[in-house]
Amino acid sequence: MLLTLTLMHEPAADLGYLLGKNPTRCQSFPLSFGQAHVFFPEVSPSRCTAALLLDIDPIGLVRNRRRPSGEGHSLQQYVNDRPYVASSFLSVALSQVFGSALGGRSRERPQLAETALPYEARLAVLPCRGGEGFLRRLFEPLGYNVAAQRHSLDPLFPEWGESPYYTVTLSGQCRLHDLLSHLYVLIPVLDNDKHYWVGDAEVEKLLHHGEGWLTAHPERENITRRYLKHRGELAKSALARIEQEESDDEESAPVEEVIEERARLNDVRLDAVQAALRESGAKRVLDLGCGEGKLLRALSRDPQFTEIVGVDVSPRALEIARLRLDRLPLDVQSRCRLLHGSLMYRDTRLSGFDAAAVVEVIEHLDPPRFSAFERVLFEFARPRAVVVTTPNVEYNVRFETLPAGSFRHKDHRFEWTRSQFQDWANGVARRFGYAVRFVAVGPEDEILGSPTQMGVFRQCPKN
Amino acid sequence: MNLILPELSLIALVGPSGCGKSTFARRHFKPTEILSSDFFRALVSDDENDQAASRDAFELLYAAAAKRLSRRLLTVIDATNLQRAARRQVLDLAKRFHYLSAAIVFNLPQEVCLDYDQRRPTRHVGPHVIRNHLNLLRQSLRGLEKEGFRHLYVLSSPEEVESAVVERRRLWVDRRDERGPFDIIGDVHGCREELVTLLCQLGYRVGPDLQVEPPSGRKAIFVGDLVDRGPDVPGVLRLVMGMVAAGTALCVVGNHDDKLLRKLNGRDVKVNHGLAESLAQMEGESDDFRERVRVFLEKLLGHYVLDDGKLIVAHAGLKEHLQGRASRRVRDFALYGETTGEVDESGLPVRLNWAADYRGRAMVVYGHTPVAQPEWLNHTINIDTGCVFGGRLTALRYPENEWVSVSSLRTYCDPGRPFLPSPIQLSAQLLADDMLDWSDVSGSRRIATRLMGEVTIRAENSTAALEVMSRFAADPRWLIYLPPTMSPCETSREPGLLEHPTEAFAYYRHQGVERVVCQEKHMGSRCVAIVCRNGDAARQTFGVEGETGILLTRTGRRFFDDVALEGALLARVRTALDAGNAWERWQTSWVCLDCELMPWSAKAQELLRHQYAAVGAASRAALAEVESVLKQTSERNREAAVLYERHRRRAEASELFTAAYRRYCWSTSSVADFKLAPFHLLATEGVVHVDKTHLWHMEELSRMGEVGEGLLLKTSFKIIEVSQESQIAEGVRWWQELTERGGEGMVVKPLDFSVRGKRGLVQPAVKCRGPEYLRIIYGPEYIEPEHLGRLRSRGLGAKRALALREFALGMEALERFVRREPLRRVHECCFAILALESEPVDPRL
């Protein structure tokens, strides 16, 4: 919320002309979210500092919001870092308070505005999601010297670790409007958030303020994606216009997929599951824990499956799955159904199917609830075939970005070794009258096995 | 002609078009009882004559009929029903719903039909159609009697149609108007001596001639199987026949009774399973007696519906959808129950346990399969305790629901399989409760509570709760209670304050509560502690193996992922309970405590890191710089001086905010670092302590606090008379002391746990938080007048309505649990609390 700009060039007081603000005064500007104050803490012949102080109304943030639901969750809190940190609020203030300077215009000193001068910009608190490395990767290619000091969360509780907040000083020889444009774009990129709805207009803003530097920036993809708040479609169109080349990434990739080398493994896994389902001869299949319906859509393209029912406990995931199903041809859609349900409750709607796929689901269940899940699936729903996949934890050491000892996803309650999975699966098969075989999914390592393990259960004929 | 029709009838009108069926139907039946093909044709095609629409029309008609039949409504199908296939449909539908079928045939002369058709105001079908219909009718009449209609009436002249009277009869099994009290007696199997002893114990007087006189107003009901195996079958029959004749007993038929009847009727039956004894004993009786027995047995029904439908008696039990209906299938089920078709190692049929899936409202009392002792399961009870096999003869007293047993004098017959199993591991209810059903929690639900009547849960809230319950909650067998949300007191107008005790006292004063208890509000995390004395207690009470208790969060999650830590904490509580002699004092082997668990930082790590400490760090760093540049500027600039002053205060607020959250944080490296403050002794064996005062709760809990090994924290409290100024001032002072010492604040509760005021249930508690604590809730700078003024407008209505509903549901869950009701009945209450928690309510209240 505090930005200071220092010009070290005689006469330094020209900074006042460049910003269009009188260095002897302290001016205030009303903004929709509070007030901006501009004043000059230091005015000497060789050094002049202008300060932009945002006084954001913390109660107004919560109470005066008119926004589409689901946007900007952090703004529902009174206990909020927004009033104290540099964020998209600061970008808005820059464009409103220093609009001319940001546009490279200066009535009194037009030439100075077009001249590269020694500037220093200091942000009292800047949230850097992605750490100091990312901060440097953003500003250093633009020719700045970066000095950053990180703040701990609470010096009294060192065990809580560091905060994401840095005090950042950028210094370099540049034109004022370049400096302001860089800040305008990169502050929300570092914060990785925006206080307002990101729509098509944001693409224009990015291209406008990124003109002349974004195309050549080595982090342009990250900048674009974060600036557009990971809205895949928008980022795609912006990148296309920046680079005039296609980017093949769907949506913002969740952590698990990044770790598993993008979506590759996921595709391999779905292929393996589909193959196992095909092989079982199943016509009517359940996709238990269908999530957003990727497997569902894959199966729907296969005419062998005449009825495909996706079940998930998350109404949100089902909503997305529904939207995606709606894009399929009608005859394909008519073979698919979605049900809101839980694997913890016996459910007659799940009875009478030929096969069930339980893909990357069991590791999200608490072990004490396993007995309920096993009975719901193998005793009551009792499909003739069941395909279960789960991560093979032994393989985790092969994922470079995954810290040792942590799971591939935050919600994983466990990840099993091959023998743990096989012990469980064999036990289930014995207790409920199934035979099970195991399939390695993904590139197989001689010692570690494959990244995903799959158990294919078949009901034993009744004697 | 009198047309006698049972209440559960599906009636087909049969006759050509234009013979007056609809007119007849309108005269004798309610409009809603008549499903007319003309009406459905019009419904689907706008034209009641459009024969092309018949297919669709009948599809709807039969679907409507099916809905009515499942709801036990008499239904008339007003169509020509001249084709055998059409009548077949009607018969199949009746069979599917265990209805009695009836046909009323309009066999009128051709000229009458033609005349009717001519005189119809709206439409004429024409003579050729009528002649064709009459042909079909003549063909139909030939075989109609054999088609399977239970009642068949043929009206052969306009006069007969005119004079016909419809007489509705109740089903034989329907004895709703008999409301007891009853003594329901299990399988007697010829054990006359034991029966007489049991009747005497129940207060019946039995004469030497086996004439029985019941205690005033009571009636006996026999669940069947009077005969076979035992020593005095004729004696038992004589006694029961006498009682039934005298109207002092009812008796339903058992499979053995039925088989004896078939034998007496001269049918070829296999003489086994004790039938030989019956036959041998009957040999010595007169022909007249044998004939009376035959007639008696022939008249026995498969089941009875009693006491306004609240009680069902059937020999082998009866599923809900068969109750109060009449068909071969219903009778078979009542006689034999359901079997898998397989036999066990003793060669006896493997039975399906229908009671495990029973969801009906009516209590079902039955026998048939000997059990070691009667056990409740889903509102059903088997009272056959195997007298003839050397067990006992048992009677269930209704509506008292107590049972009375007499031991058998000796083993008259060797049971095919042991029915007296070694010590029972788990109750039948706990065994059956291993699995919950989706249909028991999904959709819009209405839950009856003792404290508040019906609580409605909207479907979208159930949907949200299903996800939370499935993904995060602990084993549902431990979820016997979830704490209600708590509303703050009304907003204070005092300068610099949002909450103040005056408003809390005023609330209760207005509700007519005289005395309240103020309890120190601990700042930790809400925790429900269920502690069992040992593993056996956990197994027998909760059906959970290998655990001895649990610590739950307010949303039903396991408090700690670390099993060892949870175990160590539970062990400490258990030791305190041992030392306080709690198990004997409360006569229980388990307790359910409502507590606060400290420190806050133990559970709120994520929140602290991402929100509280983060905001503290950001605000301290930012405001320190702001303060310094403004100071620098204000030396030259007076305008900046104002800003400087303002931001100096903001910097102070940020320090105070940091101090506020730090008070509730400390590192926890071992069990010794935790504190548990119990404040409600919610429930123990058989009792929910909702009828006690909070003083009682505080005193009882303090007994264990003294020996809590440093874990247990006492809750300080103060009782205040809310109508006395001096006492109010005292309460305010107490609150000020608490909050100035850094306490969160206090909770004010009526002295009684649950209080009904002028407008229903009163808030069980309101909280009154201190100004420094509220920085954690409303942000570091909320006290600034410009902010406080806006924050004062906050609505408590939704929060309070939720608090009451959740309180009622929580108590209901506990009450159902201590009554040993099925798990789904307890679970639906806790599920509903979670569902209500998904209602959008200002989270700061």
Domains of chain A, first to last: 2-197 (3.30.1610.20), 257-459 (3.40.50.150)
Answer yes or no: are the C-beta atoms of A218 and A141 closer than 8 Å: yes
Q: Do B613 and A1 touch (CB under 8 A)?
A: no
Average pLDDT over residues B264-287: 91
B379 sits in the region (left: phi over 0; alpha: psi -120 to 50; else beta) called left
Q: Give me the residues of B, 442-481, that contact A with CB < 8 A.
A: 463-464, 466-467, 469-471, 474-475
> Domain tally for chain B?
5
What angle is formed at CA B521 by the lines to CA A76 and CA B600, rounded to 5 degrees?
60
Write the pLDDT tens digit of every residue in B347-380. Answer: 777 778 899 889 899 999 999 989 888 888 889 9
- 8 Å CB contact of B779 and A345: no
Could you report the per-residue pLDDT of B780-817, keeping only the tens digit for each?
999 999 899 989 988 899 999 999 999 999 999 999 99
* Best to test chain B binding among A53, A56, A345, A463 (most B CBs inside 10 Å): A345
Identify from A79, A150, A371, A407 which residue to disrupt to test chain B contact, counting B C-beta atoms within 10 A and taking the largest count: A79
| Pairing label, strands B34-36, B75-78 | parallel
Lowest mean per-residue pLDDT among B16-25, B338-347, B697-706, B764-773: B338-347
Q: What average pLDDT does the segment B301-323 reach?
A: 95
Residue A350 has pLDDT above 50, yes or no: yes
Contacts of A81 in chain B (CB under 8 A): 614-615, 618-619
User: Percentage of residues in chain B with pLDDT exceeding 70?
Assistant: 98
A346: nearest CB among B437, B469, B626:
B437
Amino acid identity, residue A225?
A: R
Pairing outcome for strands A355-359 and A284-288: parallel
Nearest by Cα to A181 from A134, A221, A213: A213
> Which of B463, B475, B779 is opposite residue A315, by nearest beta carbon?
B463
pLDDT at B629: 94
Tens of pLDDT along B73-119?
999 999 999 999 999 999 999 999 999 999 999 998 888 888 888 88
Share of chain B above pLDDT 90, in %: 74
Closest chain B residue to A151, measured at CA: B617
Within 10 A of B723 (CB to CB), how many other CB atoms are there? Answer: 13
**Residue of B469, B609, B787 lying closest to A160 (CB–CB):** B609
Surface of A (384-423) touching B: CB under 8 A: 411
Q: What is the pLDDT of residue A252?
A: 41
Select from A74, A154, A192 the residue whose CB has the most chain B CBs within 10 Å, as the one to mutate to test that interface.
A154
- The domain boundary, picked from B138, B169, B200, lies at B169
Report the alpha-carbon distance of residue B277 to residue B600 in Å, rounded: 74
Model's pTM, two decimal places?
0.83
Residues B62 and B193 in one domain: no
State whether B626 and A2 contact (CB < 8 Å): yes
Phi then psi dihedrals of residue B332, to 5 deg: -60, -45
pLDDT tens digits, one per residue of A177-186:
999 999 999 9
Q: Do B165 and B179 belong to one domain?
A: no
CA distances (Å), origin B13, targets B108, B161, B187, B646: 13, 12, 44, 90
Average pLDDT, chain A: 89
Structure token digits, residue B310: 């609240």
Confidence label for B420 from pLDDT (cuts 50, 70 and 90):
low
CATH classification of the domain holding B734: 3.30.1490.70
What's residue B232's pLDDT? Answer: 95
What pLDDT digit, counting tens, does each position of B603-657 carry? 888 888 889 999 999 999 999 999 999 999 998 888 899 999 999 999 999 999 9
Please check whether residue B278 lies inside any domain of the structure. Answer: yes
- The residue type found at B831 is F
Query: Quick one: closest CA in B to A379, which residue?
Result: B435
A163 → closest Cβ in B437, B614, B776:
B614
Indicate which CATH number applies to the domain containing B48: 3.40.50.300
| CB A106, CB A18: distance < 8 Å | yes
To the nearest whole Å, the CA of A95 is away from the closest chain B CA by 21
On whether both B730 and B628 belong to a single domain, the answer is no
* CATH code of the domain in which B280 resides: 3.60.21.10
Instruction: Kindly state whether residues B180 and B116 are assigned to the same domain.
Output: no
Quote the CA–CA distance of B449 and B688 in Å, as a whole number. Answer: 14
Q: Same domain, yes or no, for B132 and B266?
A: no
Residues A106-154: tens digit of each pLDDT: 999 999 999 999 999 999 999 999 899 999 999 999 999 999 999 999 9
CA distance B293 to B286: 11
In a domain, B727, yes or no: yes
Closest CA of chain A from B415, distance in Å: 29
Instruction: State the CB neighbour count (10 A cutoff) for residue A361.
Output: 20
Same domain, B299 and B443: no
Q: Does B614 touch chain A (CB under 8 A)?
A: yes
* CB contacts, 8 Å: A159 with chain B: 667
> Residue A104's CB: how many other CB atoms inside 10 A?
15
* Structure-block tokens of residue B188: 């007697």
So what's the pLDDT on residue B289? 94
Looking at residue B322, its pLDDT comes to 93
Mean pLDDT of A396-418: 87
Q: Which of A40, A161, A164 sits opposite B633 (nearest CB)?
A: A40
- For residue B309, the Cα-to-chain-centroid distance in whole angstroms is 17
Range in A441-450, B120-129, B302-311 the model is least confident about: B120-129
Q: What is the mean pLDDT of residues A227-255?
A: 63
Place of tokens 């809730």: B777
Give which of B779, B624, B660 is closest to A1, Cα–Cα.
B624
ipTM, interface predicted TM-score of the complex: 0.86
Q: Phi/psi at B524 (nearest 5 deg)?
A: -145, -130
pLDDT given at position B809 = 97
Domain containing B357: what range?
A: 174-424
- What residue type is B275 in one-letter code? L
pLDDT score, position A244? 53
Which residues from chain B sit within 8 angstroms of residue A40, using beta carbons?
Answer: 633
Alpha carbon separation from B295 to B176, B291, B300, B302 (Å, rounded): 25, 6, 9, 15
Residue A253 in this model has a pLDDT that exceeds 50? no
pLDDT confidence of residue A249? 38
Does B390 lie in the same domain as B263?
yes
> What local confidence, expressed as pLDDT, does residue A335 receive?
92
Q: Which residue in A291, A202, A299, A228 sits closest to A254, CA to CA?
A: A291
Q: Which residues touch B478 (CB under 8 Å, ≥6 apart)?
A: B530, B542, B544, B550, B552
Kindly state whether residue B700 falls inside one of the protein's structural domains.
no
Facing B470 at nearest CB: one of A154, A161, A313: A313
And the tokens for B366? Answer: 């039955």
Q: In the sheet that B525-532 helps form, which strands lie side by side, from edge to edge?
A: B549-552, B525-532, B590-598, B675-684, B687-688
Q: Quote the percentage of chain A above a pLDDT of 70.
A: 92
Buried b / exposed e over B19-41, threshold 16 CB at 10 Å, is bbbbebbeebbeeeebbbbbbbb
pLDDT at B561 (0 to 100): 86
**Interface check A95 vs B, CB under 8 A:** no
Structure confidence at residue B753 (pLDDT) = 94
Domain end (from B99, B134, B169): B169
The mean pLDDT of chain B is: 92
- Res A261: pLDDT: 56
* Residues A343 and A363 sit within 8 Å (Cβ to Cβ): no
C-alpha gyration radius of chain B: 37
pLDDT at B376: 87
A340 touching B, CB under 8 A? yes
Q: Is B663 on the interface with A (CB under 8 A)?
A: no
Determine the residue type at A398: R
- Residue in chain A lying closest to B467 (CA): A313
Name the strands in the sheet holding B392-398, side by side, starting at the edge strand that comes first in the sequence. B249-251, B219-222, B182-185, B392-398, B402-407
> Which residue of B438, B640, B777 is in closest CB contact with A345?
B438
| pLDDT at B327 exceeding the cut of 90 | no
DSSP label of B386: B
CB contact (8 A) between residue A375 and residue B434: yes
Which residues does chain A have within 8 Å of residue B619's beta carbon, measured at their own beta carbons?
81, 83-84
